[in-house]
Structure 1
Amino acid sequence: MNRILVTGATGQLGSAVIETLVKKIPASQISILTRKEEKRVKFQAEGFPAYLGDYDDVDALEKAMAGVDTVLLISAGDEGNRRQQHQNVVNAAQKAGVKNIAYTSRSLKNRATLANKLMVDHFETEDYIIASGLKYAFFRNVLYLDAIPLFIGKQATETGISLPAGDGKVAYALRSEMGEAMAHVLLQEEWENKIYNFNGGKAYSFYDIAAALTELSGKEVKYTAMETTAFEGMMKQRGLPEPVIKKIVAFLTDIKQNQEAEIGNELAIHLGRKPIALKDGLKTLFGL
């Protein structure tokens, strides 16, 4: 009987995975690692073996992995030493005798030309997992469709869109649909060191997003492809710290260079349906 440990279980991606898993297997087969005691208690009451801890707590990781066959390592945020945190999880899995490890990586075209160097952590984690000898699955997830309001603002139908992303495209997909597909893989696939490129099957520019919002809202939404220096100046006027501005610009530069424009049908295959299209997703996200 396969027992799965989901780390980062209380985040939105982890929650989507668990929601699908528990429809197919008993909660007793799904172990949970969470940083919040109230969440641990809640999961425990619902029948999940739940453990308190994080990626820096090696003892907690080893305890949570006892009797586990498969670990889903949901990527840590970039605030701490993410590479070391991921390595802690891999090392604990080896020590605990875990057979399989799945990692939520990122769908990026070329690691050698990334402007956002924080994204390199994902590829280095993949390298470390491969070197560990564990059977693995890498879920290379594209930028969440859910993130569009964060980039363009919830008032974009009133203000328009101004970003230094040129006509670069992204094959956006909903976070919940990627979590659902990941759960299906964890339950159904044989573990033979596979890579899954999960994207929406069609790539869109911010011109496309503006056109979709125009159609949905009935108001003309214009996208202005700003120069980077002008955008940086605008962000400074808004009071954003320099490191934050640099991070945002690097992210948008990778979009401009089509790092996230790769398309395929693997998400649709593992969902068992077509992923939600851009226009339908925007309609929900913007309440239109």
Structure 2
Amino acid sequence: MKLIMILITGATGHLGNKVIENLLKSVPASEIKALARDEQKAANLKEKGVTIATGDYENIPALDNAMKGINKVLLISGLDENRLEQHKNVIDAAKRAGVERIVYTSVSMTDVSSSVMKDFMGSHFQTEDYIKESGLEYTLMRNSLYMDVIPMFIGEKPNETGVVLPAGEGKVAFALRTEMAEALANVLADDTHANKVYDITNTEAYSFNDIAVSLSELYGKEIKYTSPDADVFAKQLKEYSVPDFAINLTVGFATDIKNNLLNIVSTDLESILNRKPATLKKGLKELYAL
């Protein structure tokens, strides 16, 4: 019987760690390898029997070493501006090692050419193309925005500040990162997803006004949603000493949401989980510990 070895990149991040946690429910630890920048940060995984490979997306010798004996790779997308080249390094190393399949965390988006972050977001689709051109089997998981980013967008105390974001009435089918991680683990543990493209979204899309309504019900008080001018909002963040990179990212996502570029609803996540994903209200209750 052929031994299946799975390499998880970005293993010490929130998503990678949760993927491994879910994989361990159905796959022996001896068949899982984790790529981490810092072996000490992966100590909890090592204790569970997971093999640790040290390296990053720019260390080609380390990538070649990590790929030895691997059948499937989960390529978790990077956040650096040069992530396309980093992704290519991982794909090239996988091809050299004879890996059979790459699972990639992409983005669910209607028209990347209209995005105010089209270079950054477009690198997802350039990575997809590079994977397809490599000749490797693939599974492309086009993720919606994590529901977990909502507190980052509107703050930890919306009951005091209200919901303020220049997102207009645009909608997103937010899903919990834990459920996306579970879906990734299910796909990695299964051999029936070759050359598939999935939109990993909730089964309903939500506006930030919907978020304010749900939070109002959870807190038991009215919480209003305000969508200010993007430039005014950016200036306010600047006054609070928010770093420029974070401001640009927040305003960029808000603008794309306003323009409904992230408004894609699919049942793919539901099918892979074999249940409906958590609703907005349930997710917010968990995220805000209410």
TM class by shorter chain equals: over 0.9
Match of 2:31 in 1: 29
Residue 152 of structure 2 aligns to a residue whose secondary structure is helix
Aligned residues, how many? 287
TM-superposition CA deviations, 1:121-171 (whole Å, max 9, x none): 111111111111111111101100011100000111111112111000010
Residue 209 of structure 1 aligns to a residue whose secondary structure is helix
Kept in 2, the 8 Å contact 1:40–1:52? The answer is no
Distance 2:204 2:17 in 1: 26
Match of 2:250 in 1: 248
Match of 2:97 in 1: 96
User: Which residue, out of 230, 233, 243, partners 2:232?
Assistant: 230
TM-superposition CA deviations, 1:257-285 (whole Å, max 9, x none): 11111101111111111111000111111
Equivalent runs, 1:88-167 vs 2, <5 Å:
88-117=89-118, 118-167=120-169
Distance 2:156 2:114 in 1: 31
Shift of 1:13: 0.8
Match of 2:277 in 1: 275
Distance 1:249 1:48 in 2: 39
Could you list the runs of 5+ residues in structure 1 that have no partner in the other structure?
none
Residue 188 of structure 1 aligns to a residue whose secondary structure is coil
Give the structure-1-normalised TM-score: 0.96
TM-superposition CA deviations, 1:206-256 (whole Å, max 9, x none): 110000111110111000111112212212222234444233211111110
**Partner letter of residue 260 of structure 1?**
L
CA change 1:243–1:72 in 2 (3 A) is: closer
Shift of 1:287: 1.9
Residue 196 of structure 1 aligns to a residue whose secondary structure is strand
Distance 1:150 1:76 in 2: 19
Distance 1:2 1:191 in 2: 15
Match of 2:87 in 1: 86
Question: Is the aligned partner of 1:203 residue 2:205?
Answer: yes
Runs (4+) off by over 6 Å? none
Match of 1:180 in 2: 182
Is 222-231 or 91-100 further displaced after alignment? 222-231
Is 156-165 or 38-47 further displaced after alignment? 38-47
Q: Over the residues paired in the alignment, what is the CA RMSD in angstroms? A: 1.4
